[in-house]
Amino acid sequence: WGLARLAEALTGIPGLARIRYTTSHPRDMDDALIAAHRDLPALMPFLHLPVQSGSDRILDAMNRGHTAAEYRDIVLRLRDARPDIALSSDFIVGHPGETDADFEATLQLIRDVGFAQAFSFKYSPRPGTPAAGAPLQIAEDVKDARLQALQALLREQQDAFNAATVGRVVPVLFTGHGRKAGQLAGRSPYLQPVHVNGPDGLIGQIVNVEIRERYTNSLSGTLVQERAFA
């Protein structure tokens, strides 16, 4: 069984409205899985697709098994199959031997692709791995500066994505209570945290919400309907 076939089988479960999977690897994004994103409405239009670096030299050193161009091609195919899909990713800065040009290639990939969310880290050596004993270890202050620059770009993209949601009506799956009294917490199709005031009976249900405000990592809005989808 491949992941695409499994996702298709899951759509046959009564009442299963949303399907997600994580964490995918670019090498696993075959034609069948891309077609599943096109053909299965329950497969949410949000995909975590780690890339780690935009430099082919660093990707090879990481043994990622793909190039930056191949990653870009996968993104194009996904967006052709599912135009409303949004992406998140993982990035590591400061891998041994990473030059300024390598880092700039990562920034350029981020600019080219555009991400709704991302997770980013400084490289840290792990005992027993080839990179731990590799020459040209990157100084901590350089790693810090690169991480700050990368995260600033990613925050800008995430903020733009969230801002584009304001004023829209989105279906939210409520999963529990928010931090404030009378507040519910849920997730949009794009996995954005959403908070609204509403009754406890909506927990576990998908309800339309008009998004009114966006924050760094979440959205808030008002209920458009207080009856869940059938």
Check residue 138 and give its pLDDT.
Answer: 96
User: In this predicted model, what pLDDT tens digit does every residue of 138-149 receive, in sequence order?
Assistant: 999 999 999 999
Distance CA 40, CA 10 (A): 10
Check residue 227 and give its pLDDT.
Answer: 56
For residues 86 and 190, the answer to whether their CB atoms sit within 8 Å is: yes
- Indicate the domain borders of the chain: 3-163, 169-223
User: In this predicted model, what pLDDT tens digit does every residue of 168-188 receive, in sequence order?
Assistant: 999 999 999 999 999 999 999
Share of the chain above pLDDT 70, in %: 98
Check residue 130 and give its pLDDT.
Answer: 84
| pLDDT band at 228; cut points 50, 70, 90 | low
At residue 55, does pLDDT exceed 70?
A: yes
| pLDDT band at 197; cut points 50, 70, 90 | very high
Show the tokens assigned to 204. 């576990």
Distances (CA, A) of 19 to 6, 29, 105, 202: 11, 16, 33, 20
At residue 230, does pLDDT exceed 80?
A: no
Distances (CA, A) of 230 to 17, 19, 193, 207: 10, 17, 23, 10
The DSSP secondary-structure symbol of 181 reads: T
At residue 116, does pLDDT exceed 80?
A: yes
Which residue bears the tokens 């990622």? 64
User: In this predicted model, what pLDDT tens digit does every residue of 76-101 receive, in sequence order?
Assistant: 999 999 999 999 999 999 999 999 99
Closest of 67, 65, 110, 55 to residue 87, by C-alpha: 110
Check residue 226 and give its pLDDT.
Answer: 61
SS3 11: coil
Arithmetic mean of pLDDT over the chain: 95
Distance CA 200, CA 193 (A): 17
- 207 phi and psi, to 5 degrees? -135, 145
Q: Which CATH architecture has domain 169-223?
A: Beta Barrel (2.40)
Strand partners, 211: 221
At residue 115, does pLDDT exceed 60?
A: yes
Check residue 13 and give its pLDDT.
Answer: 97
Instruction: Answer whether CATH 3.30.70.1230 is correct for domain 3-163.
Output: no
Check residue 73 and give its pLDDT.
Answer: 98
| pLDDT band at 121; cut points 50, 70, 90 | very high
Strand order from edge to edge, sheet including 117-122: 46-48, 86-93, 117-122
| pLDDT band at 126; cut points 50, 70, 90 | confident
